[in-house]
Every structure is written in C-alpha cells, then in structure tokens.
C-alpha cells in the first residue's frame, strides 16, 4: 500500500471526472515541511505558528520568528504555505501571557485565546506581522487569523499587518511579492456574517476541530464525549454546505484544515458538498490522493444534495454503502 501511495506522490490529485482537488498538509515544526516532498502534498494549508512559542521559554524574538518563516518558505520550494497567526491562550497557555483580569480562564477553549489575545497584546501581533512580512520578503505570503468571530476582528488584525507593510515600504525593505489574507472559520457566529467579509478576503479555511466543538457544545478534548457526535452528522454537513454556497459567488478559496478532512468517508462528504481544498495530517495525504482518483464528483454531489435535504438515519452507513457500490 505504502509503495502505491509513493507512486501517487507526483500525480496531481484529480477526480475521475477531472476535478482538481488541492491536497495540502498541516504542519507546525520546521522539520514537518520535509513531509511536503515525501507526500507530494500541494502545500501547507495550515502552519501552526504557535508551536515555536510553545517550545520556547520566553516570547520568541521577532528575528527568530522571521528566520523560521523564511526557512519554512525555503523548504517549501515555491509550494503555497498558509501561516496561521498564533493560537495560544486557553489550554495552550504561556506563563508570560496573562489576560487583563489576571485570572486564568475557567473555560479555556472559549476563553482568551488566538486572535482575541493577539488583538489585545498588540505588540505580539505587530511583531508577528513584521516577522511574517520579513520572512516572506520577495515571496507570496498567505496569512490567516484563528478564531475570528466577527468581521471587525479580521479588519483590526489586517490593519496591524498593513501598518507594518507601510513601515517596511517607507524604510525601503523588500516586501512579499503578494499578500493574501484569510480567516479560519471555526466559530459558528462568523458563518452568519461571512457574506460581510467576502469582498476583502482571499480565502476561508474551516477548522472542523473547533467548529464541531462549538456547534455541538462538546469539548473536543473530553474523552467522555469523543464517540457521541459524528462529523458526518447532518448538522455539520449542512453547516459546511451553507458556507460553501455563501462563498461561491466570490473569488474566495474555501478549504477545510481540521482533522475531519483526513478521514476517508469524511473527505468524500466534503468533496460532495463542493469543497476543493483539504489540508490534513501528512500521513493522510497518500490515502486521500488515492481516494480522489476514484470519485465522480457529479454523482457524488447529486447524492449529497439529496442526503442533505433528506438525511438518511445513518449518514455514515449510507456513505459507506454508496462508496462501495460506486467502487470508491
């Protein structure tokens, strides 16, 4: 099997009916980037920049951040890399970051984390923005913000980047050749107002790990709940289908970067509702490429539309049977 996946490494992932699916991988350490070549992924759909912070005793200096970003882009050899600004706070808390109340979050997943923290600790976001701009000098920079809950949070974060762009330009430093800004959609509130943001973002990346936790109000790290809700539930799939539909009229790329996309039937469902970019754990890249080559997207999307309108009692079983019937 492994040898079979290696054969797919240099093959563009296309469905049986010729639809190109972008298969990207998630990463967080510089050494992960080597997996791009090994797996043949199209790029890094989620680079979790907080890893560098979590393994450092103190806030990593801007120069160190910039060096890491430059090394990641060099190692990616021209493939697309989407950097996510830090998602720290909450359960990934750091001793040198304390919120304004001085108290620890009682409910860290819904607490002072990610972009909420970055916007309040503006020095931290400024330094990261500058480091990303410097690290990507002369190259394309793709940056996304985690846990955006309302459009103004995106606007504020982008403003911090644009100030740094203006500063570097004034100083005649080399800038990235292009900057694409995007949001992670992992807080359900954003989906309700996403249309208000589509005129000024390049991409949306759906974080199904947090999104599921917030949709079902079920802690993603609580093992007592791990088996209770299924990613293949009509609630999630209808939600995702609606996001795809909202974005469709705009030149905005929509992808999934949560763990859901790395599972066989889940990936099938995601492609069935129109998603064309999946970013997954490196080990799942080969199996996903193989799966994609067996799919007829037209037949699949007709079937998914029917199932979303009239959900079968067991979506997972229905998808499994259908896949078997179709030789997927």
Q: Which residues bind to ligand PEP, rule: CB under 6 A?
A: 46, 48, 87, 186, 207-210, 257-258
Report which residue's Cβ sits closest to Mg ion.
Answer: 210
CA angle 39, 280, 160 (to 5 degrees): 115
Taking CB under 5 A as the criterion, which residues in 177-196 touch Mg ion?
186
Q: Using alpha carbons, list the distances in angstroms from residue 173 to 135, 157, 159, 201, 314.
A: 12, 21, 19, 25, 57
Pick one of ligand PEP, Mg ion, none as the site partner of residue 134 (Cβ within 5 to 8 A by kind): none
Pick one of ligand PEP, Mg ion, none as the site partner of residue 279 (Cβ within 5 to 8 A by kind): none
Stretch that binds Mg ion, among 93-101, 166-174, 209-217, 316-324 (CB under 5 A): 209-217
Residue 207 engages Mg ion in binding (rule: CB under 5 A): yes
Residues touching Mg ion, count (CB under 5 A): 3
Pick one of ligand PEP, Mg ion, none as the site partner of residue 22 (Cβ within 5 to 8 A by kind): none
We find the least distance from the C-beta atom of residue 194 to ligand PEP, in angstroms, to be 16
d(CA 282, CA 235) in angstroms, rounded, equals 28
- Tally of CB atoms within 10 A around 128: 25
Pick one of Mg ion, ligand PEP, none as the site partner of residue 142 (Cβ within 5 to 8 A by kind): none
Question: Which lies closer to Mg ion via its Cβ, residue 207 or residue 272?
Answer: 207
Q: Does residue 144 contact residue 85 with C-beta atoms inside 8 Å?
A: yes
Question: Which lies closer to Mg ion via its Cβ, residue 128 or residue 297?
Answer: 128
We find the least distance from the C-beta atom of residue 4 to Mg ion, in angstroms, to be 32
Question: Which lies closer to ligand PEP via its Cβ, residue 48 or residue 289?
Answer: 48
| Per-residue H/E/C for 164-226 | HHHHHHHCCCCCCCEEEEEEEECCHHHHHHHHHCCCCCCEEEECHHHHHHHHCCCCCCCHHHC
Helices (H), 231-314: 234-247, 264-272, 285-292, 297-309
Residue 90 engages Mg ion in binding (rule: CB under 5 A): no
Q: How many CA atoms lie within 13 A of 279 on its CB side?
A: 29
Question: Which lies closer to ligand PEP via its Cβ, residue 15 or residue 208?
Answer: 208
Name which position in 42, 50, 134, 210 contacts Mg ion (CB under 5 A).
Answer: 210
d(CA 175, CA 177) in angstroms, rounded, equals 6
Residue 45 engages Mg ion in binding (rule: CB under 5 A): no
Question: Which lies closer to ligand PEP via its Cβ, residue 28 or residue 311?
Answer: 28
Residue 151 engages Mg ion in binding (rule: CB under 5 A): no
We find the least distance from the C-beta atom of residue 16 to ligand PEP, in angstroms, to be 29
Q: Which of 181, 164, 166 is nearest to 62 (CA)?
A: 164
């Amino acid at each position: 099997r492994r040898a079979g996946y290696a054969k797919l490494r240099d093959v563009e992932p296309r469905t049986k009916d010729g639809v190109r699916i972008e298969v990207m991988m998630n990463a967080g350490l510089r050494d992960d980037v080597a997996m791009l070549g090994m797996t043949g992924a199209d790029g890094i759909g989620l680079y979790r920049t907080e890893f560098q912070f979590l393994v450092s005793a103190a806030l990593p200096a801007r120069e160190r951040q910039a060096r890491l970003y430059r090394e990641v882009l060099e190692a990616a050899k021209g493939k697309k890399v989407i950097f996510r600004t830090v998602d720290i706070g909450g359960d990934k808390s750091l001793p040198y970051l304390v919120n304004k109340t001085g108290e620890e979050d009682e409910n860290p997943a819904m607490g002072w984390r990610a972009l909420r923290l970055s916007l309040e600790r503006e020095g931290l976001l400024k330094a990261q923005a500058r480091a990303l701009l410097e690290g990507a000098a002369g190259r394309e920079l793709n940056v996304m913000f985690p846990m955006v809950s309302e459009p103004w949070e995106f606007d504020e974060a982008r403003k911090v980047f644009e100030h740094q762009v203006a500063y570097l330009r004034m100083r005649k430093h080399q800038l990235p050749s292009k900057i694409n800004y995007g949001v992670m959609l992992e807080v359900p509130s954003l989906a309700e107002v996403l249309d208000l943001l589509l005129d000024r973002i390049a991409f949306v990346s759906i974080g199904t790990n947090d999104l599921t936790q917030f949709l079902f109000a079920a802690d993603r790290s609580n093992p007592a709940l791990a088996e209770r809700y299924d990613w293949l539930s009509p609630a999630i799939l209808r939600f995702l289908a609606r996001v795809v539909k909202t974005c469709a009229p705009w030149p905005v790329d929509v992808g999934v970067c949560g763990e859901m996309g790395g599972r066989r039937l889940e990936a099938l469902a995601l492609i069935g509702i129109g998603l064309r970019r999946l970013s997954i754990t490196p080990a799942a890249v080969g199996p996903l490429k193989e799966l994609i080559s067996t799919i007829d997207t037209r037949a699949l999307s007709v079937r998914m539309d029917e199932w979303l309108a009239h959900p079968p009692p067991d979506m997972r079983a229905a998808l499994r049977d259908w896949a078997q019937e179709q030789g997927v």
